[in-house]
Amino acid sequence: MNTYYLNNSGSRWVVMDRNGNKPKHTFKTESGKEVTRTALFYESFGNFGLVWISWKGKKISVFADSILED
């Protein structure tokens, strides 16, 4: 895995494997379904990390264990 920083402060970064693929995360929705989304990039939020994903045509930032709205 390779890490590439998107800004000078290091608060945003992208992770890719050797083939250029980004990691995938599985989230649960309010109705109980599981959906898999590709991480666009990561962002630091204090001592935590947020994952930016595409959900319903919008880019949103969520925690890795978040439950998404239907």
pLDDT, one tens digit per residue, over 14-48 is 999 999 999 999 999 999 999 999 999 999 999 99
Q: Count Cβ neighbours within 10 Å for each residue of 21-48 and write b for 16 or more, e otherwise.
A: eeeebebeeeeeeeeebebebbbeeeee
pTM over 0.85: yes
pLDDT at 67: 96
pLDDT at 46: 92
Q: How many domains does the chain have?
A: 1
pLDDT at 32: 95
Domain range spanning residue 34?
A: 2-68
Mean pLDDT of the 51-57 span: 96
pLDDT at 41: 97
